[in-house]
Structure 1
Amino acid sequence: MAKTAWQRIGLVLGLLVILVWCLLPVAWIISLSFKSAASITVGNPGFFPAKGTGAGWDNYKQVWDNEQFRHAIWNSIGISLIATALSVALATLAAYAIARLDFKGKRLVLSVALAIAMFPVVSLVGPLFDLWRAVHLYDTWPGLIIPYMSFTLPLAIWTLSAFFREIPWEMEQAAQVDGATSWQAFRKVIVPLAAPGVFTAAILTFFFAWNDFVFGISLTSTERARPIPASLSFFVGADPFNRPVSLIAAGAVIATIPIVLIVLLFQRKIVAGLTSGAVKG
């Protein structure tokens, strides 16, 4: 009995250490977002701004009133949603074909797809920079959507193919016996059954596109297509040698809110999508 109590205490302490370790950077960024530039300059050690130093919610208002920031938010939303929709649609069709059809080189296709997903992003920036300038895709939405899809499609195909393999082939055959065409059976029977996998692929794709910094800062030169992570690096303020840390922190908090909301609202579906495809039966 005593051993069980000590095990519970150890488990609680371990969880607390992990929570503090993971949440401390988040708490520190939030605290910086409420401090004034003067408070940060003099090294205010607390988590919250000292009284009389100003700032607070004014930092968030100042960031949101910045036209550059609002344009970057719009770029991130549009680019991420388009990349997610295209990647999930193409990955669903490709994963279904890989799971259901027997053809030569199927394993090779999956291996190449996984290798592409693991390819270093930095190594592609230079060639893409030259190529995009030559074909006039530099500093455009398609110039970011295509690289995002190149890295998220393989991962989405791997995730979805595992779900399609778990769906009994007889269910699709039964739908066709009842008069459904192959496309109707796929759309109305197979895809709804693989919904957890489709949702997981969409979430992973959206997270990659929303959080990307390397492509965003390398393949854009103006606010026309620059996403929010890259745009935050251009917040220099009046003095380029004294960065407005509090404003950057406030912008980072605002940019993180959509991701946090998605995780909180759909955490059950995310967990189901990440686990159910790996369990047979």
Structure 2
Amino acid sequence: MTATAPATTARTTAPAPSRLRRLAGAFTWTRLAALLIALFVAAPLYWMAVSSLKGLDEVGANPPTLWPDRITFDNYREAFAENNFGTYLLNSVLVSIVATILVLGLSSFAGYALARLPLRGKAPIMVALLMISLFPTIALAAPLFLLMRELGWLNSYQGLILVYTALNVPFAIWILRNFFLGIPKEMEEVAWVDGASPVRTVLFVILPQARPGMFTAAIFTFTACWTEFLIALTLNTADRYRTMPVGVALFGSQFTIPYGTIFAAATVSVLPIALLVLIFRRAVVSGLTAGAVKG
């Protein structure tokens, strides 16, 4: 005669209906708030893009139209053919890309040194870098102008690239240093045991692991160089060396302001930044959250 043990059933307690309603309500309000913020941010961009497709009479129409009655690309033709916008755009691409590459190269090794090496005075160095990155640009315009004049680098690419590199290195060091702190030290120790030099370890072991942080620093640096106005206006006054923000600001004449042409040029200038953010959005979010949590 065999005794059968009573079967035990696991009980699962479901959340109370009131709790489910609260969670659903909070989720709905969160999505609604995100939607409102997205509309608030996207509305000026939509208006800029739509206005670039309108004729001159419709741009200033009252009441304004949400969509052009007749789509025209004359504003884009005037921006490139009559206002030299193509040269300004190429200048911005050249300066921004070269400055971003230099910033990543310098800040990678500096950030690694501040994160890993036993250096004295790390805290004062980080505070100094933060103060430099927050220093107002307008206070640097006159000294930089005098310095570049002495070097003979006014109206040149190298002068603007050097200044942009110096202005963006401190913030990039902050981002990369915080990200390097989250990389396990065991990976470096294994590389050292295999005979890798410190430089080779950084290039082939650490930097591949810090790819999200590199993308974050690169996008922030490129955006800062792409949109900078005051230093570019101060150092490069010749038309052939002007960057895109300065060139667009000088559209028009004393008596007329070509709003449609300005909208067209602004729409083209926003596209590279928008594409970078859309393509690398996951890497940017990962780099920012890693730095915030592990820094």
Q: What TM-score does the superposition give when structure 2 sets the normalisation length?
A: 0.87
The change in CA–CA distance for 1:271 and 1:45 in structure 2 (over 3 A counts) is same
User: How far is 1:6 from its partner?
Assistant: 4.0
Q: Distance in 1 between matches of 2:30 and 2:174?
A: 34
Equivalent in the alignment of 1:212:
228
The change in CA–CA distance for 1:6 and 1:34 in structure 2 (over 3 A counts) is same
User: How far is 1:83 from its partner?
Assistant: 0.4
Equivalent in the alignment of 2:81:
65
The share of aligned pairs that are identical, in percent, is 37
Root-mean-square deviation (Å): 2.0
Once structures 1 and 2 are overlaid, which stretch shifts more, 193-202 or 152-161?
A: 193-202
Structure 1 residues without counterparts, runs of 5 or longer: none
Q: Distance in 1 between matches of 2:73 and 2:293?
A: 47
Q: Kindly report which structure 2 residues correspond to 1:233-248, keeping only aligned pairs within 5 A, or say none.
A: 233-236=249-252, 239-248=253-262
Task: Give the match's secondary structure for 1:242.
Answer: coil
Structure 2 residues without counterparts, runs of 5 or longer: 1-19
Structure 1 residue identity aligned to 2:55: S
Which has the greater radius of gyration? 2
Equivalent in the alignment of 2:210:
194
Task: Give the match's secondary structure for 2:67.
Answer: coil
Task: Give the match's secondary structure for 2:181.
Answer: helix
Equivalent in the alignment of 1:23:
42
The yes-or-no answer on 1:169 pairing with 2:185 is yes
Q: Distance in 2 between matches of 1:5 and 1:268?
A: 26
Q: Distance in 2 between matches of 1:13 and 1:179?
A: 55
Structure 2 residue identity aligned to 1:276: A
The yes-or-no answer on 1:258 pairing with 2:272 is yes
Q: Distance in 2 between matches of 1:206 and 1:137?
A: 22
Once structures 1 and 2 are overlaid, which stretch shifts more, 254-263 or 132-141?
A: 132-141
Once structures 1 and 2 are overlaid, which stretch shifts more, 123-132 or 63-72?
A: 63-72
Q: Distance in 1 between matches of 2:27 and 2:284?
A: 28
Task: Give the match's secondary structure for 2:154.
Answer: coil
Q: What TM-score does the superposition give when structure 1 sets the normalisation length?
A: 0.91
Contact persistence 1:140–1:224 (CA under 8 A) = no
Structure 2 residue identity aligned to 1:273: G
The change in CA–CA distance for 1:256 and 1:209 in structure 2 (over 3 A counts) is same
Q: Distance in 1 between matches of 2:185 and 2:281?
A: 29
Q: Distance in 2 between matches of 1:2 and 1:185?
A: 53
Q: Distance in 1 between matches of 2:110 and 2:24?
A: 51
User: How far is 1:276 from its partner?
Assistant: 2.1
**Paired residues, number:** 276
User: How far is 1:274 from its partner?
Assistant: 1.1
Contact persistence 1:72–1:226 (CA under 8 A) = yes
